[in-house]
């Protein structure tokens, strides 16, 4: 009886700690104990937030702007987000469609808790970011995984076949974590057409939208047509675009009743978003600080360095157009433990931290982040070469 009393409920017991956070923590603990670890498991920019962010955060603290704010966020920040999204996506967004949240994760979980009825299915297009399964499940929904093409792009036949009477929406993440795949406007159009035919929500996680290195920017489904605009919910935030991961600030743009529902829910769960971070975010939305373009240019150079190096090692890896991850296929190097075993061996034998593709639903791959300095990327490639050579 006592042990039962001490257990979390069934839903929480079924949730494991985010594998990327757990791996990152393990790599950091190893490094703290003196091991020379190259940590490619990280999912965050390695630079400081822009000077304007830091100044605004300090000013908020010193100026006493640290009290509760409205649950949906400060009025001026909602307006700034509405005009930022209008400008960057080429659509008309109103403040009432914006709810500021503690982060992209918080925006996404709030949206799912607001939308999903018990048993509703949500399609997750593999490889899918680690938290989607847990968030859909916790909201009472059923995640349905859909396999991609070999290059990690969308397989429309598979998507259409996965849609059933209980399907409520499709999660879309372009640029993708973990593959870096960026959808084309034609692909988004095809998805939007499917959503129209089957009357589905498009849940568009656009957290990496600023990080695209070549070709067209990643199009939002909201920009594709009036119909798609009405069925798209955009989730975005400051973490990746402005190197503000620890500030914890993000937002959802949704039709007014949904955005208001998320705010009502959050008013009881988390109160209001962090007041200091709201001011810090406001400082960069109107005029992008120069540090952002510098960061993007540096990521572009690191991307080439890493992908070229992986290909020289004989690995099959599509050139990622966005985000800051490479997702090579490792089929030839896996044993019965799959990508999890491979990543464990890499960490133990070579002190190289990576993330197994299994956590994104594709066990043939591993994920390597290139949000780390070029010498560290070169060292990682050398270690990976030694590792593969010895297998």
Shortest Å distance, C-beta 358 to ligand PLP: 17
Q: Give the nearer residue to ligand PLP in terms of CB position, either 46 or 205.
A: 205
Q: For residues 176 and 187, what is the distance between their CA atoms, to the nearest angstrom?
A: 14
Q: Give the nearer residue to ligand PLP in terms of CB position, either 52 or 207.
A: 207
Shortest Å distance, C-beta 114 to ligand PLP: 17
- Those residues with Cβ within 8 angstroms of residue 137's Cβ, 6 or more apart along the chain or in another chain: 11, 14, 143
Q: Give the nearer residue to ligand PLP in terms of CB position, either 116 or 130.
A: 130
Do β-strands 142-146 and 121-125 pair in parallel, antiparallel, or remain unpaired? parallel
The CA–CA distances, whole Å, from 299 to 107, 293, 351, 362 equal 26, 10, 23, 25
- CB atoms < 10 A from the CB of 48, how many? 12
Q: State the residue for tokens 């039962």.
A: 4
Do β-strands 201-205 and 232-237 pair in parallel, antiparallel, or remain unpaired? parallel
Q: Give the nearer residue to ligand PLP in terms of CB position, either 56 or 359.
A: 359
Shortest Å distance, C-beta 88 to ligand PLP: 17
Helix axes 19-32, 338-350, angle to 10 degrees: 10
Shortest Å distance, C-beta 349 to ligand PLP: 27
Q: Give the nearer residue to ligand PLP in terms of CB position, either 40 or 381.
A: 40
Q: Taking phi first (over 0 means left), then psi (-120 to 50 degrees means alpha), and beta for anything else, what does residue 119 get?
A: left
Shortest Å distance, C-beta 5 to ligand PLP: 32
The CA–CA distances, whole Å, from 245 to 5, 48, 50, 116, 360 equal 36, 10, 12, 27, 21
Shortest Å distance, C-beta 32 to ligand PLP: 22
Shortest Å distance, C-beta 52 to ligand PLP: 19
- CB atoms < 10 A from the CB of 203, how many? 28
Q: For residues 219 and 182, what is the distance between their CA atoms, to the nearest angstrom?
A: 9
Q: Give the nearer residue to ligand PLP in terms of CB position, either 43 or 309.
A: 43
Shortest Å distance, C-beta 34 to ligand PLP: 28
The CA–CA distances, whole Å, from 213 to 47, 175, 197, 370 equal 18, 10, 33, 13
* Three-state DSSP state, 103: coil
Q: Give the nearer residue to ligand PLP in terms of CB position, either 80 or 129.
A: 129
Shortest Å distance, C-beta 219 to ligand PLP: 17
* Three-state DSSP state, 43: coil
Q: Give the nearer residue to ligand PLP in terms of CB position, either 94 or 245.
A: 245
Q: Give the nearer residue to ligand PLP in terms of CB position, either 108 or 381.
A: 108
Would you tell me which residues interact with ligand PLP (CB under 6 A)?
A: 43, 103-105, 129, 173, 177, 205, 207, 237, 239, 245, 250
The residue nearest ligand PLP at its CB is 104
Q: For residues 30 and 332, what is the distance between their CA atoms, to the nearest angstrom?
A: 28
């Amino acid at each position: 009886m006592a042990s039962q009393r001490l257990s979390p409920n069934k839903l929480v017991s079924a949730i494991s700690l985010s594998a990327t956070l757990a791996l990152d923590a393990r790599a950091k603990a190893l490094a703290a104990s003196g091991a020379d670890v190259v940590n490619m498991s990280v999912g965050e920019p390695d630079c400081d937030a822009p000077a304007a962010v830091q100044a605004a955060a300090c000013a908020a603290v010193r100026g006493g702007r640290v009290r509760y704010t409205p649950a949906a966020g400060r009025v001026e920040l909602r307006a700034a987000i509405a005009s930022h999204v209008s400008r960057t996506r080429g659509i008309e967004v109103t403040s009432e469609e914006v709810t500021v949240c503690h982060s992209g994760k918080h925006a996404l979980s709030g949206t799912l808790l607001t939308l999903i009825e018990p048993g509703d299915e949500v399609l997750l297009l593999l490889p899918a970011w680690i938290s989607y399964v847990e968030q859909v499940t916790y909201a009472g929904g059923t995640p349905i995984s859909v396999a991609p093409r070999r290059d990690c792009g969308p397989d429309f036949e598979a998507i259409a076949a996965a849609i059933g009477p209980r399907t409520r929406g499709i999660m879309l993440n372009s640029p993708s974590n973990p593959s870096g795949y960026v959808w084309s406007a034609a692909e988004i159009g095809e998805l939007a057409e499917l959503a129209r035919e089957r009357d589905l929500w498009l849940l568009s996680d656009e957290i990496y939208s600023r990080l695209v290195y070549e070709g067209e920017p990643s199009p939002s489904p909201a920009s594709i047509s009036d119909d798609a605009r009405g069925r798209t919910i955009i989730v975005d935030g400051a973490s990746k675009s402005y190197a503000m991961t620890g500030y914890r600030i993000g937002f959802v743009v949704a039709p007014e009743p949904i955005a208001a529902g998320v705010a009502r829910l959050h008013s009881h769960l988390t109160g209001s978003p962090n007041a200091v971070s709201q001011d810090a975010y406001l400082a960069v939305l109107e005029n992008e600080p120069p540090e952002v373009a510098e960061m993007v240019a540096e990521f572009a150079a690191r991307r080439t360095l890493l992908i070229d190096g992986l290909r020289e090692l004989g690995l099959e890896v599509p050139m990622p157009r966005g985000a800051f991850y490479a997702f090579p296929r490792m089929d030839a190097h896996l044993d019965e433990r799959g990508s999890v075993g491979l990543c464990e061996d890499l960490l133990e034998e070579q002190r190289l931290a990576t993330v197994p593709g299994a956590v994104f639903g594709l066990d043939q791959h591993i994920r390597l982040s290139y949000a780390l300095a070029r010498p560290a990327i070169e060292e990682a490639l050398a270690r990976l070469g030694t590792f593969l050579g010895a297998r």
